Chain A
């Protein structure tokens, strides 16, 4: 194992480049009834997902997803329905919402459905739980298998009763013949069968207006286990004979190991010290012994110069790849001549800092070898991706690796990689026993990856009546998600300029959409100000997209826009769309005249993601995104110098706490005529610009950098 972290340097928005291995269907099917017992099973081949996945979205490699099984479902002899998905639960409540879809489509009580998720040995291949993809992809897929299973049960009954299947009705977990009054439960129909079927083409599914279990506020499944502490996250697992693993971290990023001496650890009983390339770790019966062993290892590192946070923005601007990839450019009209034309011109530069996901459950993994077969339990968004990483790094076939994801203590895009899994597996191989690795908070803040920093340059021109004429938008490094403006403009160009990574970087809730929306919506506000037009009116004047207009109008109405501000008070608005959903946020802020502290007093966020599967879960997630967004908007920033993170703790890296939480209202627009989109990311995107615009409204000062007020405003 050579320098592992260099092996895993990530492209920004790395997930967009992921592809799947070939799934071993025959093996899985054979195993299937062995594991679950007799019954009826339906397998769905993902046929139509690729069209949606490869819809023209810039920065996306147009590749077909593997044509393979996307979902499967089993009805047992006791009537228990088990549905399988490679997605992972990490607080977004999909274990509940997916089960709602299955119960709804199969016509069974919600309580009889159980989801098996994120287990590479049991669930269908899945690229990962990210990109707000679970609801839009899994809703139709699970519904199609459930609908096919229902048809299969009807067929079984029809055959037994010797009647035409069209005459029978499936409801309340049974098939009924209305003519004869005869009826049999799904359990009885599944009894003694090992009947498997591939999904027929184009099985129609129930449209949202006819949903009965989906569309309702069903509480989180297994919620009781979470309030009693019974649920076991990865870090809570303790298999027999388990050792605790710790990894010796280099003093700085990119440092290489030049000398290693573990003589002093030889006398320690039960301790395994591993050196493999630049990796040094220890496994021991207690965490303390593992730490002590590492403290006794003598090592020297060779460090190399690294960029520091104080120079990061000029570095990013000066080190962009000279040529913009065609995939990362979009243009229409002639932006150069429109900018040079007669309209009112406004240019500005925006910056966003690196921030950390800081999931409260740090990375953790428990690994166990049996011969050359490896089983790892870990909190990750990519069970199959982690399986691939493990297979690569240990030079074993993927079929020898099983990755299981216990419901995880959040991720926000931060748990795509299998770092802790690899470390635990490497130590477990040396120890010949299961090993658990749990990262410390400092490791999490240092050796995970970050939401990348970025510089965004905007040039624009508008007519005297406040209509956009030209829009030239350049993102350096932070990414291309949400880079396209939803506003109508005849001459425009957007470019994403990639820059070699400075800090290890990757996905974060909303990816670069948060940065791009911050720049765009701040700039739109500045244009509105220059045109002396109300910011809401200015946006509506330049907006044709009806769904975006609808959320803007809904948020503004609830918020009571426009407000006239008193001294020390400000109101701001921002909006956007991404990944098939639409958001608008209004914010009210207050500034303490004495301290300069900025407090967000009230936020109203209107959100629309098509048909709502679970309004309670959605509301929880939308409000959560609003609160998480406060951190990156107001004060979160990773600071680094000489290859070291200088604020790697909660005492030095401020995240939103109770006192930071304003009054928040979420308005959920339920569009039963539109297929559901995901909701994990978009609701965070308008927070920062709405707050920044409110600060401008209060002070007349335009803040163009995220975080906006890490140290408050200057005293007035």
Chain B
């Protein structure tokens, strides 16, 4: 049954009338029009729907919207600030780390999550972290490069 809930996405508050069990992904895409987060499998296996929930990367197809109450959500649309790409977005762009790019938003969100908890991950750590993100086009080596580049750029910027 629909209930009144409020969630915060990309710094904006949204009062909603929604069934609290609805997966967050459907609310983002169908209700808020934030279609950058993709449906790929609906079972948390492909990572295309990854968003940051309270700062941690989560599969939005597996989270009920009620779980986002009181925890800010960041989607791919929320990374760009004043026309400036997030360093991870910029690194994906620079590395050409996509083909069809349907997995790209999820890859970027997972990578942002990784770099928040581990500023300078090894290749093995990146591989481990992105194991749950599928790229069917086979762009993994470039994604790996992009995450390394992003880590470097973020460290330099933070210095």
Contact = CB atoms under 8 A, between A and B. Distances in A.
Interface stretch (A61-69, A550-558, A657-665, A698-706): A657-665
Contacts of A649: 41, 43, 45
Nearest to B76: A229
Contacts of A133: none
Contacts of A358: 136
Interface stretch (A40-48, A89-97, A570-578): A89-97
B136 A626 contact: no
A287 B39 CA distance: 13
Contacts of B77: 228-230
Main secondary structure on chain A at its contact with chain B? Answer: loop
A99 to B, nearest CB: 16
Contact of B138 (A90, A228, A441, A623): A623
B64 interface: no
B119 interface: no
A288 B103 CA distance: 24
Interface string B101-145: 111110010000000000000000011101111111111111010
B104 A650 contact: no
Given A229-B76, A659-B127, A659-B131, A651 B92 contact: no
Interface in A194-234: 219-220, 223-224, 226-233
B33 A624 contact: no
A90 B85 CA distance: 24
B40 interface: yes
Contacts of A287: 26, 30
B116 to A, nearest CB: 18
Contacts of A626: 138
Interface stretch (A407-415, A450-458, A539-547, A671-679): A407-415
B75 A229 contact: yes
B99 A410 contact: yes
A227 B137 contact: no
Contact of A651 (B35, B43, B126, B133): B43
Contact of A223 (B35, B93, B136): B93
Contact of B35 (A219, A236, A409): A236
B135 A360 contact: yes
A679 B138 CA distance: 15
A464 interface: no
A223 B94 CA distance: 10
B31 to A, nearest CB: 9
Contacts of B89: 227-228
Interface string B4-44: 00000000000000010010001001100111111111110
A650 B92 contact: no
A628 B142 CA distance: 15
**Count class of interface residues, chain B:** 35 or more
A656 B136 CA distance: 8
B102 A361 contact: yes
Contacts of A659: 127-128, 131
Contact of B45 (A93, A244, A438, A650): A650
Interface residues of A, number: 55
B59 to A, nearest CB: 12
A655 interface: yes
Contact of B134 (A438, A616, A655): A655
A226 B41 contact: no
Contact of B136 (A228, A407, A410, A661): A410
A656 B132 CA distance: 11
A656 B135 CA distance: 8
B99 A658 contact: no
Nearest to B26: A287
A661 B43 CA distance: 23
Interface string A611-643: 000001000110111111000000000000000
A235 B93 contact: no
B137 A441 contact: no
B131 A658 contact: yes
Given A91-B101, A235-B39, A360-B48, A620 B142 contact: yes
B131 A232 contact: no
Nearest to A357: B136
Contact of B108 (A219, A227, A625, A651): A227
B30 A219 contact: no
A441 B39 CA distance: 9
Nearest to A627: B138
Contact of B141 (A220, A651, A661): A661
A238 interface: yes
A331 interface: no
A220 B45 contact: no
A410 B127 contact: no
A229 B98 contact: no
B142 to A, nearest CB: 7
A287 B61 CA distance: 14
A441 B134 contact: no
A359 interface: yes
B35 A232 contact: yes
Interface in B67-81: 75-77, 79-80
Contact of B42 (A227, A441, A620): A441
A228 B80 contact: yes
Nearest to A364: B39
Contacts of A624: 99, 137-139
A231 B105 CA distance: 11
Given A235-B39, A360-B136, A650-B46, A408 B100 contact: yes
Contacts of B99: 91-93, 410, 620-621, 624
A362 interface: yes
A227 B93 contact: yes
Contacts of B133: 657-658
A229 B136 contact: no
A286 interface: yes
Q: Which of B29, B40, B105, B126 has the most CB of A within 10 A?
A: B40
A238 B33 contact: yes
B96 interface: yes
A624 B96 CA distance: 13
Given A649-B41, A651-B43, A409 B138 contact: no
Contacts of A658: 126-128, 130-131, 133, 140, 144
A233 B43 CA distance: 21
A586 B86 CA distance: 38
B127 A231 contact: no
A440 interface: yes
Given A227-B85, A229-B35, A358-B136, A441 B40 contact: yes
A657 B80 contact: no
Interface string A144-175: 00000000000000000000000000000000
Interface in A348-406: 358-362
B26 A657 contact: no
Contacts of A233: 38, 102
A590 to B, nearest CB: 16
Contacts of A360: 38, 40, 46, 48, 100, 102-103, 134-136
A224 B130 CA distance: 22
Interface of B: 19, 22, 26, 29-30, 33-43, 45-46, 48, 75-77, 79-80, 85, 89-90, 92-93, 96, 98-105, 108, 126-128, 130-142, 144
25 contacts: A91-B98, A92-B99, A220-B98, A223-B93, A226-B98, A227-B92, A228-B77, A228-B79, A229-B35, A231-B101, A236-B35, A286-B30, A288-B19, A360-B100, A361-B102, A409-B101, A441-B46, A620-B96, A626-B138, A650-B43, A650-B46, A656-B140, A661-B138, A661-B141, A664-B141
Given A408-B100, A410-B100, A650-B45, 11 more contacts: A91-B99, A93-B99, A238-B30, A359-B100, A360-B102, A361-B102, A410-B99, A412-B136, A624-B139, A658-B133, A659-B131
In order of increasing CB-CB distance, the 6 nearest A-B pairs are A229-B36, A91-B100, A627-B138, A409-B102, A624-B138, A236-B35
